[in-house]
Homo-oligomer: A and B are copies of this chain.
Amino acid sequence: MSTSIPHPDWIAVDWGTSHLRLWRMTRSGTALSRTDTDQGMGVLTPARFEPVLLDLVRDDLPTDGGHLTVICCGMAGSRQGWAEARYQVVPCKPPGIAEATRVRTADARLSVHILPGLSQAAPADVMRGEETQIAGFLSGQPDFDGVLCLPGTHCKWVHISAGEVVSFRTFMTGELFSLLSDHSVLRHSVASSGFDEAAFAGAVAQALSRPQALAGDLFSLRAEALLSGLDGVAARSRLSGLLIGAELAAARPYWLGRDVAILGESGIASAYAAGLSAQGAAPRMVNAEEMTLNGLRMAYRQLREHAL
């Protein structure tokens, strides 16, 4: 093994609530390998983080008395995580290595840095992990002035200007979709996969024009399934459209008339793009994981420059 795969110079980690993604990196920023496990913060006690990490990098540890640099972002830095990396307060630049928390590890061969999240006082809001995607995005486009949309379980809308995060807002849309489609009375009416573009677009438009009707429009999906056999894929697409439409209505001050980039996985990001495009916006799509890795690369570069 260790003879065929080159040794990494450092380790990049996106350690979220439900997943752990780890890349073995060269000094110049090339990813030698990528690991994706379900050892997220949600299933770990604080004492378990170091053993889990050690298991994944055991073959990469130096034998000459030196140490292996590990740079993490995400929920590993939360109070219930590995070591708390206290929020930076917006408006501010996305945090870099200077703001990271150094973890006291039992194994001296590890040198672990956790990047902090961002917080906002009013309206109260927080993020952990997305700030590193933002840093990665800005590393390629330092003059960007506009809005980033980061879909997911908790979708973030982020206003960027002059290299700073000016303000942001989190919507629980993805989590509401999961709860409603898997655990509410709608589970009987909503298919587990599939996408009907026209049904989605209609529901987005409906929610945008009457966002306050949401809790009633949701039940109509159940009623239409009972009364007129509404198709499960159409129901799923309308559920998604109603929730995303309501979010777009609330987030209108963010996206209206602004340069918008969507950082996200293909399916959900495409849905947001479709919803925004129908409203006359022209969002760009950006690969979210690549932005995370760019943010971690930038932190590593800062660490080396700092050390020189």
Contacts and interface: CB of A to CB of B under 8 A. Distances in A.
A212 B243 CA distance: 11
Most buried by B among A124, A228, A249, A251: A124
A214 interface: yes
B176 A215 contact: yes
Contact of A250 (B170, B180, B213, B224): B213
21 contacts: A87-B227, A119-B227, A121-B227, A123-B216, A124-B224, A126-B222, A126-B223, A154-B185, A154-B219, A171-B216, A172-B185, A172-B218, A173-B215, A175-B185, A176-B184, A183-B183, A213-B250, A214-B250, A215-B243, A215-B250, A216-B250
Contact of A179 (B126, B171, B173, B179): B179
A226 interface: yes
A87 B223 CA distance: 11
A32 B133 CA distance: 67
A254 to B, nearest CB: 10
A226 B222 CA distance: 36
A265 B34 CA distance: 55
A253 to B, nearest CB: 10
A223 B170 contact: yes
A250 B216 CA distance: 8
Interface residues on A, range: 35 or more
A164 interface: no
Contact of A219 (B125, B180, B222): B125
Interface of A: 79, 87, 119-121, 123-126, 154, 169-173, 175-176, 179-180, 183-185, 211-220, 222-224, 226-228, 243, 246-247, 249-251
Contacts of A123: 216-217, 220, 223
A219 B214 CA distance: 17
Task: In the A-B complex, list the 4 residue pairs whose CB atoms are closest, starting with the nearest.
Answer: A211-B212, A124-B223, A124-B224, A171-B215
A212 B215 CA distance: 11
A88 to B, nearest CB: 12
Counting chain B CB atoms within 10 Å of each CB, the highest count among A124, A170, A215, A247 belongs to A215
A47 B56 CA distance: 54
A223 B171 CA distance: 12
A247 B246 CA distance: 14
Contacts of A119: 223, 226-227
A219 B250 contact: no
A125 B173 CA distance: 24
Given A170-B223, A214-B250, 9 more contacts: A119-B223, A124-B227, A125-B223, A126-B222, A172-B218, A179-B180, A214-B246, A215-B243, A216-B247
Q: Which of A170, A172, A176, A220 gathers the greatest number of chain B CB atoms within 10 Å?
A: A172
A122 to B, nearest CB: 9
